[in-house]
Amino acid sequence: MYNGTKVLDIHGHYSAPVNGSAALGIMLASNTPLRDDPRKDLPRFGMSEQAWHAAMKRHVDMMDDHNIDAQLIGPRPFLMLGWMQKHLLEGWCRFINHMIARQCLAHPTRFSGAACLPQNPKAPDLKHCLPELEYCHKELGFTGCYLTPDPVGDRSSPGMDDPYWDPVYAYCEKHDLPIIVHGTNCTDPRLKTIPQNYQIGFVWEQYLATQLLSHGDVFKRFPGLKIVVCHCGGALDRFIKSDHHLAQKDLSKNLFFDTCALDTDFLEAAIKQRTPKNIMFGTETPGSGGAIRPETGKQGDDLVPIIGAMKFLNEEQKLDIFHNNCKHVAPGFSKLG
């Protein structure tokens, strides 16, 4: 909590035992899709009840340590693996969604789910994702979905302003589901020297998505659509607000960003540029923010005290970031708070 108010984290990922690595290895090696209901295979994948309990306990314990009351959890982006063959990808997404649902069922007051979708950039549009999205929403009770701007990692997908995305945009607008935009794998061979180089892909794809959504007419076509771009939008704008390089339009009801940036100078600049009304608390705890801050001895993703101490924010603005903005952007998830 923050001063008696529940802290809602818009950016979390599921914590299945070893993230389903055994299932993934078997599926890729055999070139055979997972079952329609992959839960039947959990014992042979090493996902015992004890392993599940331990993985979820670590997750919840870290949330408690970081003063996080509830999280919207989705797929782990670097394991979305949109480059897989179509017949494998659909089963893999279903497997991930059942793992998310299991965690939500085990801790219904702490987690709500966001769907992983089998995005195919070569398809005419995203209609092929609607069955999985509807299954997650209506059968599993999910309250959001993830979209990656570049599922294959080779920049072959249409830009996020293109009508290609409209079927999912229309569904999410109709059902008041937020879309979480997050980069995933990056197969650019130039990045091979950089460890965990998918992180570089995150920056580019999320910033590009921000620019396309800003300059395009998506929110004219779907005025009720709400999109959250992760990691503060990937990068920040270098122009002043009146510059013609920026979209000179009001996006305050549609386009949002999370606080998942660990450098405090960057995070402060992002909150000022995106504005407290359009930025939401997000940490991806537990994720890539485990490095220790020398000045505090705490993990980098322990962001409640960092934001709580920012002097340029008044108390109302802090409560907007920690809690209130969710009421507008993610009403299903915000019911946990």
Residue 44 pLDDT:
65
pLDDT digits (tens, 9 = 90+) for 305-321: 999 999 999 999 999 99
pLDDT at residue 205 tops 90? yes
Is 3.20.20.140 the CATH number for 8-334? yes
Residue 277 pLDDT:
97
Q: Which of 81, 127, 102 is nearest to 14 (CA)?
A: 102
- Would you list the DSSP string of 91-117? HHHHHHHHHHHHHHHHSTTTEEEEE--
Q: Which of 122, 121, 141 is nearest to 133 (CA)?
A: 141
pLDDT digits (tens, 9 = 90+) for 45-95: 767 788 888 999 999 999 999 999 999 999 998 888 888 888 899 989 999
**Across all residues in the chain, what is the average pLDDT?**
92
CA distance 173 to 16: 30
| Mean pLDDT, residues 243-254 taken together | 93
Residue 222 pLDDT:
98
Residue 110 pLDDT:
97
- Bridge partners (DSSP) listed for residue 111: 71
pLDDT: which is higher, 35 or 246: 246
β-strands 227-229, 179-181 pairing? parallel
pTM of the model: 0.94
Residue 36 pLDDT:
57
Q: Which of 259, 283, 271, 277 is nearest to 320 (CA)?
A: 277
Q: Which pLDDT band holds residue 188 (cuts at 50, 70, 90)?
A: confident
Q: Is 142 helix (H, G, I), strand (E, B) or coil?
A: coil
Exposed / middle / buried, residue 203 (Cβ in 10 Å: 0-12, 13-18, 19+): middle
Q: Which pLDDT band holds residue 233 (cuts at 50, 70, 90)?
A: very high
The residue behind tokens 């771009």 is 229
pLDDT cut 70: percent of the chain above it: 96
Exposed / middle / buried, residue 188 (Cβ in 10 Å: 0-12, 13-18, 19+): middle
Can you point out the beta strands (E) in the chain? 8-13, 70-74, 111-115, 144-147, 179-181, 227-229, 255-258, 279-280
| Mean pLDDT, residues 94-110 taken together | 94
Handedness of CA 213, 215, 218, 220 (dihedral sign): positive
Residue 199 pLDDT:
84
Residue 37 pLDDT:
62
pLDDT digits (tens, 9 = 90+) for 9-48: 999 999 988 756 777 888 888 888 876 565 666 666 767 7
Peptide bond connecting 305 to the previous residue in cis, omega within 30 degrees of 0: no
* Cα 186 to the center of its chain, rounded Å: 17
Residue 239 pLDDT:
92
Handedness of CA 287, 290, 291, 297 (dihedral sign): positive
β-strands 279-280, 227-229 pairing? unpaired
